[in-house]
Chains A and B, each alone.
Chain A
Amino acid sequence: AIQMTQSPSSLSASVGDSVTITCRASQAIRDDLGWYQQKPGKAPKLLIYATSALHRGVPSRFSGSGSGTDFTLTISGLQPEDFATYYCLQDYSYPWTFGQGTKVEIK
């Protein structure tokens, strides 16, 4: 199975900051990488698919990049509603695998 190593596991930031979360795959996964946001008690929401495509309705402050094995999610100008846990997911091959998650907290 492809392992997804996500870092950091948590970070503290202030409103207006830019933050970057990374995911590294144990083997190349083309661009088959998505990013999800999850708030406590809620279902995950898709932010980015195919590495860099913004899901409909997602604010443009979210962006994704990368290729092969290394991928990043950037939030440019954190908003209060962005404090949540973020997961990456590779759907290149089964079994699909998620990163361990990154909790973005208010500094």
Chain B
Amino acid sequence: EVQLVESGGGLVKPGGSLRLSCAASGFTFSAYSMNWVRQPPGKGLEWVASISASSSDIQYADSARGRFTISRDYAKNLLYLQMNSLRADDTAVYYCARHVVGGGPDYWGQGALVTVSS
């Protein structure tokens, strides 16, 4: 069974940093691209970043580029999102999702809430 479990969310002050983790199990982690998608409270979904299966191709939304870094640890089957210079409008539930080529994100974690507030 495919499982994705996010951790690392919490309350952080504007300008601060946070690292989200996503533990993957039930599939061959190294064979799939992975993504982060976020959802501000009461609003719609926004794609944040993607990393290819080999980590050779990384893409960011304009809102994340230069502040966020997506990475993965193949030995630990972990996906990361390092978030720096956080702003109030980064407040959201952050989901990690597996990506099937030609099929988009197919399995999602339960989400981690990040709140940026003083």
Contacts and interface: CB of A to CB of B under 8 A. Distances in A.
Interface of A: 32, 34, 36, 38, 42-46, 49-50, 53, 55, 87, 89, 91, 94-101
Residue among B46, B47, B62 facing the most chain A CB atoms (10 A cut-off):
B47
Interface of B: 35, 37, 44-47, 50, 59, 61-62, 95, 99-100, 102-111
Contacts of A42: 110
Nearest to A101: B44
A17 B105 CA distance: 29
Contact of B111 (A34, A43, A96): A43
B59 A95 contact: yes
Given A43-B111, A44-B95, A49-B100, A98 B106 contact: no
A42 B109 CA distance: 9
A44 B44 contact: no
A53 B105 contact: no
9 contacts: A36-B45, A38-B45, A43-B110, A44-B108, A46-B104, A49-B102, A50-B103, A55-B106, A87-B45
Given A34-B104, A49-B104, A89-B104, A43 B109 contact: yes
Contacts of B104: 32, 34, 46, 49, 89, 91, 96
